[in-house]
Amino acid sequence: MNAIILYGSRYGTAQKYAQLLSEQTGIPAVSWQEMRDFSPFDTIVYIGSLYAGKTTGLAKAVRHFPTDHPFRLLVATVGLSDPAVEDNLLRIREALAQELSPAIFVRTTHVHLPGAIDYSVLSTHHRIMMKGLCILLRRQPPEDRSADSQVILDSYGKSLDHTDPAALAPILEWLAKV
């Protein structure tokens, strides 16, 4: 198996997961921005942070994926959404379907990893986005809010870290299936 771990990270959580996975497997982990030639790889793990329904760097990286040979692809999204809630996974998969070509999407395995947020390091743009989202969420009656919405409201302005190295287990299992 000739494999690579790519990551798209703005604030470091996806990079942290990629480096942990690299340490456990010996597979090199690099930012998607550092790679342009994926032709040597038959296995690609992409770990990307979710922002506004998009996986950081995925759409741009996939343009450089091999077209001359088949490859296995696992996309691990990282965010605050609870993967135990099926609606969350459905929304994430729908977004992935927009970022990947149909031919690649149908053969892509998807895993969602618990993420983190730290308002003290957010860019001004992201702080404004989160403030606007919280304003909208506060207008909803509490009984109508999803668990994810409540997590966003509860963590507003704070630091929250749900990263869990054990969450890499499904990726390790997938990698073991050659």
Name residue 29's beta-bridge partners: 5
Encode pLDDT of 29-44 as tens digits: 999 989 878 888 889 9
37 CB-near residues (< 8 Å, 6+ apart): 64
Contact 67, 109 (CB under 8 A): no
Encode pLDDT of 3-27 as tens digits: 999 999 888 899 999 999 999 999 9
Nearest by Cα to 89 from 172, 170, 4: 170
Q: Could you tell me the two tokens for 53?
A: 């329904």
Q: pTM, whole model, 2 decimals? A: 0.86
Side chain identity, residue 13: T
Nearest by Cα to 166 from 17, 19, 43: 17
Q: What is the pLDDT of residue 158?
A: 83
Q: What is the pLDDT along the chain (178 residues), one digit of tens a residue?
A: 789 999 998 888 999 999 999 999 999 999 998 987 888 888 999 999 987 778 988 988 888 887 767 889 999 999 887 777 777 788 888 888 989 888 889 889 999 999 888 888 888 988 898 898 889 889 999 888 877 787 788 888 888 788 899 999 999 999 998 6
* Integer Rg of the chain from CA: 17
